Chains A and B, each alone.
Chain A
Amino acid sequence: MLLLHHLWIIPALPLLGAALNGLFGARWSKREIDAVGVGTAGLAFAAALELIREFSRLPADQIPWVKPYFSWIIAGNFRAGFDLQIDQLTVVMLLVVTGVGWIIHIYSTGYMAHEGGYPRFFAYMNLFMFFMLVLVMAANYPLLFVGWEGVGLSSYLLIGFYFLKKSASDAGKKAFIVNRIGDFGFMLAIFLIFRTFGSADFEPVFHGAARMPVESGGQIGLLTTISLLLLAGAIGKSAQLPLYVWLPDAMEGPTPVSALIHAATMVTAGVYVVARSHVFYLHAPMAMTAVAVIGGLTALYAATIGLVQTDIKRVLAYSTVSQLGYMFLACGVGAFSAGIFHLFTHAFFKALLFLAAGSVIHALGGEQDLRRMGGLRQKIPWTYWTMLMATLAIAGAPGLSGFFSKDTILFQARVSPYGSSLLWTLGLSAALLTAFYMFRLVFLTFHGAPRYDAHAAHVHEPPKNMLVPLVVLAIFSVAGGWMAAPALFGGVDYFEHYLAPVFEGPKTLESLPVEGNGLELLLAGVAVGVAALGFLAAWWFYIRRPQTPERLAETIHAPYTLLFHKYYVDELYDLLFVRPLVWASTRLLWRVVDEGAVDGSVNGVAHTARRLGDRVRRLHSGNTRSYAAWVVVGAVLFTTLFLWPLLRPLVWTVR
């Protein structure tokens, strides 16, 4: 039971790696840097597996298993400890973070091999892993916030990794600031939680919240407020409407970063927080609706933008935003374990998509534009086949991991008491578009005639340390779904069963209308049909009639341009927020208020004083008699001043 008693070892390992590579990496060889960077990540994965083994033997009444380490902040009756915990939800997150994280670390040793700042890269990656582990293992909100902001920092550093490029440092800054807007809500949520429950530790807070009544009927009580504030934080971190704008720009970072941070792990932190705080949400139906609607809208909205993007990584970025929307949708209809399950499967296939895209970019010597790819199928078959697996998985091909997780979400969106046909339609439409844009991406990249400069590019399959991660992730993308196969497909939903103790509070799923397997089968059939439709459309557009998209773009020019320019949202935000803020701060606050009004009045006083001084100077006339007069005046004044204490009561009495 070593690790159960020393939970800190798991986050400490990558932290150690970050410190070593950050301080000494510059002097080390690549082999040494790899050993430290990948080694600590791998050890963390091994330790997580051992911890999970030990955890599985714990009796149910000792879960969540909490280990307090030291008091981080104490003041008055407030205490935030460095307290770690593990429960089933943490187990799932641990597997994703350390497992997928480790695989991507290995991939990076190939992908980043010829980049400058190699030790810096691994120091940042390890640092990210440390903060992510703190985030998922924290036993109270303030510590969770440490991980939350910490992954934001790592993301900032890694997006801006190529800091010589302005676009990269801009993107990093944007990511941090947009996240901070969400964090503003998160912080207020922590304050309100503490004010309401007198603690910020999960256990007392959730017990307290569970005892409070459900705030139904449009009533915005404490729990609804807390839920909505937490949601603001989650929206920022998980790139949902309207704070999603940083994630597409975050693609400026190296591709492994996009895979690890901006697809598999960090961006799912918002989903994690909502799921972790499910007690609040279940007591706040309005907040649930907000989560579901935001998720559903984002899923569809981002998918529409993904249809026409030409940068391979940006398509995947919008796809990530869209898939995160599904996870929110799931949480919003009360199907938390379905949301977490989609998080789990998405981590595999989306990481794979990014890594495979990285392999394509690598093969083409840095080319990211889909319009200059094509026909790569034979040149890089391993990349092609693994990417195809991931595409099938995300599109929801029956039997693959994405099918199971997405199907459960769509089903719940329809039948759950929080669900509605509107939400289901949103999810279904997004599924159609997902299949389309993903196959568009595959077809444009791998099929058809090559559109790249065949002489310039030396197309080649990546080295083994990049290829093996692709294959491993492909296996999980294909098979990872079976652990939650709903019973009607002959499987057992181990996943939901496993997470049940975490989410078992008020049983929402039991109160489902029992419409039997028929409906579920029907809905699954519809979803598969829709995905097939998306595939066929992509096939028609990009294989069968490759001229169609261009012609279509010309005929329906306006909507196409709108999508291509991402609804002009970046421009809109710039116009609405950035410019007015800078303008007002410069022109109004600094120049007018500060230098004009405040300082002006001060200088005015000074000016008056100088004029007064000038008058006083004239008193120094050299005339003895006038001096004598002033001495008398002064004496009287001083005497009055000194005697004032005695005189004053008299004055008051007289009055």
Chain B
Amino acid sequence: MPNSYLLTVITFLPLAGSAALLLLRGDDHAWIRRLALVVALAEFIISLLLLRGFDTASPFYQFEERRAWMTSPPIYYHLGVYGISLFLVLLTTFLTPLALLASWTSIAKRVREFFVMLLVLETGMIGVFLALDLFLFFLFWEAMLLPMYFLIGIWGHERRIYAAVKFVLFTMAGSVLMLVGMLWLYNVTGSFDLPVIQGLLQSGQVGLAPRAELLLFGAFFLAFAIKVPLFPLHTWLPDAHVEAPTAGSVILAGVLLKMGTYGLLRFCLPLFPEASRRMAPYVATLAIIGIIYGALVAMVQPDLKKLIAYSSVSHLGFVVLGIFALNTISIEGSIYQMLNHGVSTGALFLLAGMLYDRRHTHLISEFGGLATPMPVLSALFLFVCLSSLGLPMLNGFVGEFLILLGTYGHNARWATFAATGVILSAIYLLWAYQRVFFGGVTVERNRALPDASRRERVILFSMAAVILWMGIGSAPFTRRMEASSEHVLTQMQRPSSYEARWNGTPQSAPLEGKLPVLAVAQERAGHP
């Protein structure tokens, strides 16, 4: 197996890089930046190798690595990539070097620690996408939290401590529930290994009582919904974004939010199918509220970063809606929209950061007429806005369109309400754009602001290239997602005994627990 260590390399290269950074002298900023960038770029190039060996037709995990780690409880070091995580990994490795570049000059204090945190964070994020063992997953999930906490708390703006604590508390609340859920699953199946658990549940060898399934679904769902964030659990997001440094915002919006939607696709749907189906109308309602609510609140924000943060609530609402519309098209659209949001919103945060670097403010009213001093930056800003508002031939449209198309086939009313988001996104983005860039220069000192530097152009043009490519040539992406997206729906199918249990047919037996004796005992006791 020539590639058998590829995933390990991809996961831990940034961590090794951050260790190497620690060997450098703390005040040698130039080399710290360069080394960090080299590591991140190498990581990106290596991660591209995944595309070469990836079998498009297979819905299963590929490049799998599985080694026993602990024997009791049986915990495996188990990594694997499939159609849904493939591009999320690439998104992570693509955004990290750009986030590094964006922090090139704006981070002045504790430079080494900053880049160390960013690389550790990268390992955590990739680990979450690749881990196939629940325990390992949880480890990466929590490992991700810490560097983000420090990124906001140390390098953030004025209210950074409040925002960082709020971020951690929200996420922790979710993770605790998820941990309980994982232990419960282990208790029922005797395994932490996701494919094993999936197999047991899917074949009906282990059955969950409806009530148990609903509870488990709830535990996982809450953890992910906070991360997404789904309305009304979103209030940590604007604060975290406003206070985070640019790189933090880019990673937060670009990758971290996707952990939530990825988790929904990976755990909630395949493991708890009937609970997902029954809860779908409620989740979809929240998602639609989020789409409209996020857009409306974004519209009236005086702070550019807050505006982008609320727009994320709106965009992620689309993703959640697509997932819970439970069909191949909408799920593929959701995965695509995750990538789009990562690129477009990441780019918006980068742009907002570039304005911040020049003026040290995010307030829209402090700008106005910037198109005159900075034509290139304003053109690119518009380009990214257009991608975010879903202009056809740019990436955002493909995702939104597929989500709505798939959702319409499932429930026309959901799609109709959600589609109003298409109008609203045009309103808030174009209005903000007008206030920042059009008209005469309103604040005199803005007249002398420099246009995009070469470093900034490299960042923005690579973003723009991806935006355009994903908008025109979406097929190479969706082709690789197709099998896995369909497979999610296959995984949701269960033997008839499962259905019967939900419908309350008497012969159904809640084969709960791994001790058959007890299960039989329960049955005898006439327990439902």
Contact = CB atoms under 8 A, between A and B. Distances in A.
Contacts of A585: 296-297, 299-300
A180 B422 contact: yes
A73 B333 CA distance: 10
Given A176-B426, A177-B426, A598-B232, A72 B297 contact: no
A649 interface: yes
B426 to A, nearest CB: 5
A71 interface: yes
A164 B439 contact: yes
A653 B405 CA distance: 48
Contacts of B473: 70, 72
Given A177-B430, A585-B299, A78 B392 contact: no
Interface stretch (A142-150, A201-209, A329-337, A396-404): A142-150
A649 B522 contact: yes
A568 interface: no
Interface in A132-159: 142, 145-146, 149-150, 153, 156
A653 to B, nearest CB: 5
A163 interface: yes
Contact of B297 (A74, A77, A590): A590
B311 to A, nearest CB: 13
B475 A173 contact: no
Given A75-B329, A163-B439, A177 B296 contact: no
Interface string A188-217: 101110110000000000000000000000
Contacts of B329: 75-78
B57 to A, nearest CB: 14
Contacts of B38: none
A599 B170 CA distance: 12
B440 interface: yes
B386 A153 contact: yes
A145 to B, nearest CB: 6
Contacts of B426: 176-177, 180
A180 B391 CA distance: 11
A170 B431 CA distance: 9
Interface in A598-655: 598-599, 602, 606, 645, 648-649, 652-653, 655
B419 interface: yes
Interface string B125-165: 00000000000000000000000000000000000000000
Contact of B401 (A73, A153, A177, A192): A73
Given A184-B419, A187-B401, A163 B371 contact: yes
Residue in B300, B333, B371, B478 whose Cβ sees the most chain A Cβ within 10 Å: B300
A191 B522 contact: no
A21 interface: no
Contact of B422 (A75, A76, A184, A602): A184
B416 A188 contact: yes
Interface string B293-313: 100110111000000000000
Contact of B518 (A170, A597, A649): A649
Q: How large is the interface on B (under 10, 10 to 19, 20 to 34, 35 or more residues)?
A: 35 or more
A175 B236 CA distance: 35
B297 A649 contact: no
Contacts of B371: 163
A41 B333 CA distance: 36
A547 to B, nearest CB: 42
A582 B440 contact: no
A183 interface: yes
Interface string B425-468: 01100110010011110000000000000000000000000000
A593 B296 CA distance: 12
A574 interface: no
B404 interface: yes
A173 B434 contact: yes
Residue in A73, A77, A150, A180 whose Cβ sees the most chain B Cβ within 10 Å: A73
Contacts of B187: 645
Interface string A573-585: 0000000011011
Contacts of B274: none
A181 B426 CA distance: 10
A412 to B, nearest CB: 35
B439 A166 contact: yes
Contact of A76 (B406, B431, B472, B525): B406
Contact of B408 (A170, A181, A195, A590): A195
Nearest to A645: B187
B525 A653 contact: yes
A529 B386 CA distance: 50
B423 A191 contact: no
Contact of B419 (A72, A187, A584): A187
Interface in B372-418: 372, 386, 391-393, 397-398, 401-402, 404-406, 408-409, 412, 415-416
A589 interface: yes
B515 interface: yes
B402 to A, nearest CB: 5
Contacts of A195: 408-409, 412
Nearest to B440: A164
Interface string A521-537: 00000000000000000
B430 A176 contact: yes
A73 B478 contact: yes
B439 A173 contact: no
B522 A653 contact: yes
B527 interface: yes
Nearest to A602: B235
B300 A184 contact: no
A644 to B, nearest CB: 8
List of 5 A-B pairs having minimum Cβ-Cβ separation, nearest first: A191-B408, A169-B438, A76-B328, A585-B296, A146-B392
Given A184-B423, A191-B409, A653-B518, 15 more contacts: A73-B398, A73-B401, A76-B482, A149-B391, A160-B438, A170-B434, A180-B423, A180-B426, A184-B420, A191-B404, A191-B415, A589-B293, A602-B235, A648-B513, A655-B527
7 contacts: A73-B402, A73-B475, A75-B482, A149-B392, A164-B439, A177-B430, A653-B521
